[in-house]
Structure 1
Amino acid sequence: MGALMVGVAWAPAGAGEPEEYLRGYVNSLLDSRYPGLGLRSQVVSVDGTVKLTSSTCLGSSQKRDVAYLLTKTGRVKTIQWGASTDCDKSGETAEQDRARAEREAATPVDLYALPEQELFAPLLADPRHPRFSVSYLHYRSPAAEFSAASVAFGEYFGLASGFFGGSGNSQIGIQGGVFALFNLDAPSIDLINADYSIGLPISYRRGPWSYLLRVYHQSSHLGDELILGNPGINRVNLSYEDMEFLVSHEWERWRLYGGGGYLLNSEPDLAPKHLQGGVEYVRPRAAGRLSFIAAVDVQASEELDWRRSRSYQAGFELRSGSARRARLMFEYFRGHSPDGQFYRESLRYTGLGLYFGF
């Protein structure tokens, strides 16, 4: 399908009107990449100007992604946004508000399987958000100081989306990850700890607001080399099921999120409540094709007397016309270790990480 779309993008216009050709191409591309948003090209001109409408309002990050997708084709130069894409309806009259509500109510539920786009955007600075990444870090804890490699393999996979018609979009998926920590100063580059997680996230989005409800399991395991080299080590069989709820709001280049969770079950028995919040900043194409990104994530738990753990990241992202992207980020962390069985241990680390999105 991707090859076909590329072929269409660079094919010469047919015998029909150029405006109609461009309109059909844009609509088919939007249907393929953003089903459920009801995006349509309302006005198309031969100079490459496209005006878009939608069945539900769009957030700033959604508009950036749509604009990036269309302008990368080379055929679309300028994008204008119709009133239907604007989430601020404060200027509407009572009659306009009533008409809009009727249109949203009349919009049919459009269920579709295996959506590509994730409604609740990944938390960039969260050390345990499922992702594909590799980082070189300098670890400093009360017990040791060493060079470390942190490797993660994880992803979100959408199962079904589109339950609310014009009143917003919802999605259910599956999310899992493996997070491994290696001691690079050890002769055999010892595996220190590995955390495994699997969860079922349910998300909802309407314009700049997005919501996530997630139930997931995580378990933690010490590395064989660490156990063999430290026969008296106090192993903790850390395992738990957690339910968390997060709310995210975007405006312009900023994103703010917050929420918390409650442990449904844990071994050992842990105090159940925890909180999380953060802020992210994106400046598209700050240096040529590179976008500048900065993010902060803060977490605290009842088990650790609400002492804060803070994760900071800043760097650049390179992306293609598709969903593929790569980030090179400077990282700094201070707080309690996110590495499973060492959750009570104070930790600081700095380093560089390479992150991949698909």
Structure 2
Amino acid sequence: MQSPFQPWTNKNGTPAPQNPPEKSSALLPEKDSPEPVDLGQPIPLKPQPWTWQLLPQGLIYRSYLAGVKEPRCGIVFNHDAYYGWIWDIGLGARLGVIRYGNDDPLHPEGIQLDFEGAALLRIDPEEERDVVGCDYRYGIPLTWGSGPIRTKFGFYHLSAHLGDEFLLKNPGIYRDNYVRDSLVFGKS
């Protein structure tokens, strides 16, 4: 181990240079150069033409990451001290149906009609993998986007149902199917 008071040495044992030689850079002018270096002009972004598209790529207004009822595919394994293991499974998707706008899949602009749907199941793996309940959600949002601004307005239907096997094993539970229809407005 080298002492902090001794000069550093290279791997071959020779002392490292105290002042490394200056190197010229193609991007920086020399010290005595009177002419500045031209780095060029920024590339202008051409606005893309708006056209009608059936089943466009990308979504103008993306789903919320933290929305538990958003249409996506996934599974969550929960363990509760009272209920034991519970599986929450989400099977869903969101699809652009028609768009009048550009065809950029990463940053689309225009007006677009989407369709989304999801089935959100709760399964009890300790009781023969019975379906405890299932929430169904579908919606038809109309989205608009230009630059960083995104807006949506849509109709959503949500219904919740208890599983048949769960009801047969628990006859004292009252069956009440929950149904809600709503209009949604969002801006980001």
TM-score normalised by structure 2 residue count: 0.68
Three-state SS of the structure 2 residue aligned to 1:162 is strand
Three-state SS of the structure 2 residue aligned to 1:119 is coil
Give 1:127 deviation, angstroms: 0.7
Query: Which of the two has higher C-alpha Rg?
Result: 2
1:206 lines up with 2:146 in the alignment: yes
Residue in structure 2 matching 1:217, options 157, 160, 164: 157
Give 1:181 deviation, angstroms: 0.4
Residue in structure 2 matching 1:122, options 49, 60, 63: 63
Three-state SS of the structure 2 residue aligned to 1:218 is strand
Q: Distance in 2 between matches of 1:159 and 1:52?
A: 31
Q: Distance in 1 between matches of 2:44 and 2:60?
A: 20
Q: Distance in 2 between matches of 1:192 and 1:136?
A: 14
Residue in structure 1 matching 2:88, options 150, 155, 163: 150
Q: Which runs of 5+ in 2 are unaligned?
A: 1-41, 103-108
Aligned residue in 1 for 2:47: 55
Q: Which has the higher strand share?
A: 1
Higher relative contact order (CA 8 A, sep 6+): 2
1:174 lines up with 2:115 in the alignment: yes
Aligned residue in 2 for 1:162: 100
Give 1:52 deviation, angstroms: 6.1
Q: Which has the higher helix share?
A: 1
Q: How does 1:173-322 map to 2 (within 5 A)?
A: 173-186=114-127, 188-248=128-188
Q: Please, what is the CA RMSD of the aligned residues?
A: 2.2
Give 1:174 deviation, angstroms: 0.9
Q: Distance in 1 between matches of 2:125 and 2:182?
A: 32
Residue in structure 2 matching 1:135, options 66, 71, 76: 76
Q: Deviations over 1:149-180 (max 9, x none)?
A: 1111111111111259xxx5111021111110
Work out the number of aligned pairs and report it. 141
Aligned residue in 1 for 2:38: none
Give 1:207 deviation, angstroms: 2.1
Q: Distance in 2 between matches of 1:193 and 1:213?
A: 29
Q: How does 1:99-114 map to 2 (within 5 A)?
A: 109-114=50-55
The AA in structure 2 aligned to 1:153 is L
Rate the CA distance shift 1:137–1:163 in 2: closer, same or farther, 3 A. same
Q: Which runs of 5+ in 1 are unaligned?
A: 1-49, 57-107, 249-358
Give 1:109 deviation, angstroms: 4.3
Q: Distance in 2 between matches of 1:211 and 1:160?
A: 16
Q: Deviations over 1:8-57 (max 9, x none)?
A: xxxxxxxxxxxxxxxxxxxxxxxxxxxxxxxxxxxxxxxxxx9461427x
Q: Distance in 2 between matches of 1:52 and 1:135?
A: 46
Q: Distance in 2 between matches of 1:139 and 1:115?
A: 43
Rate the CA distance shift 1:212–1:124 in 2: closer, same or farther, 3 A. same
